[in-house]
Amino acid sequence: MVRLDRWIANTCGLSRKTVKELVRGGLVTVNDLKVLDPGAGIDPQNDVLTVNGETYRQTPFAYLMLHKPLGVVSATNDRDQKTVLELVPPALYRKGLFPAGRLDKDTTGFVLLTDDGAFAHRILSPKNHIRKTYVASLERPLGDEGLQTLQNGLTLRDGTRLLPAQVRCLSDDRKTVELQICEGKYHQIRRMLAAVGCPVTALMRTAMGALPLDSTLSPGACRPLTPDEVQKILE
């Protein structure tokens, strides 16, 4: 619940004084009922407000799947580099969008854009064990010892401790591998593979939770997720 006057002021761009005058003047209704108390609590997700003849209703949160291309940074703004938000077409753009989990500039694949902070926290918190799936191309083959080290978890030279990853080789030469992790530490995939002697030459995030990147999305394209797809991220 939020205060009526605060929500109207933020949504309509009005001063708190003007809002109070509108409310006390009987020009504000909530679900078709006149409200005269500026401090009344409302639920913006479910309540329909009319302010001086204009109707307002909080639209649902946005959840966009973006196929991030190379050379684009996972940030809301950057003075020198193109950001993921600049790839969102005007019809899908809305204020408050941000990338829920970042991919570095040289990594491609699935980036979730949303304005739902609670959902983003839920999928990024390691304690919730939401897996992220990556496919990495390696400079050298991943041997059995290195694979076992990744599956057991490891500690990097700087003391960073990494949880066990699920790893499988996708090619006969063992230079293309799939990894699933539940963390999102700085350059984690690249650092953990380098630690076992297999520098990464290309990296792509292919899924979040049980939701794979849409194979029909070309690099730089994005689309809204369905409610079922949003739930799959949590699986």
Catalytic member of 37, 104, 106, 173: 104
Q: From start to end of the chain, where are the E strands?
A: 2-3, 28-30, 33-34, 41-42, 48-51, 54-57, 63-68, 98-99, 107-114, 132-138, 154-155, 161-162, 166-169, 176-181, 200-208, 211-212, 222-224
Tokens (6 digits) for 70 = 């190379």
Q: What is the sign of the dihedral through the CA atoms of 208, 213, 214 and 220?
A: positive
CA-based end-to-end distance of the chain:
29
Tokens (6 digits) for 209 = 């939770």
Report the distance separating Cα 189 and Cα 115, nearest Å: 26
- Whether the Cβ atoms of residue 67 and residue 108 lie closer than 8 Å to each other: yes
Report the distance separating Cα 111 and Cα 67, nearest Å: 6
Annotated active-site residue 172? The verdict is: no
Active site residue ranges = 104
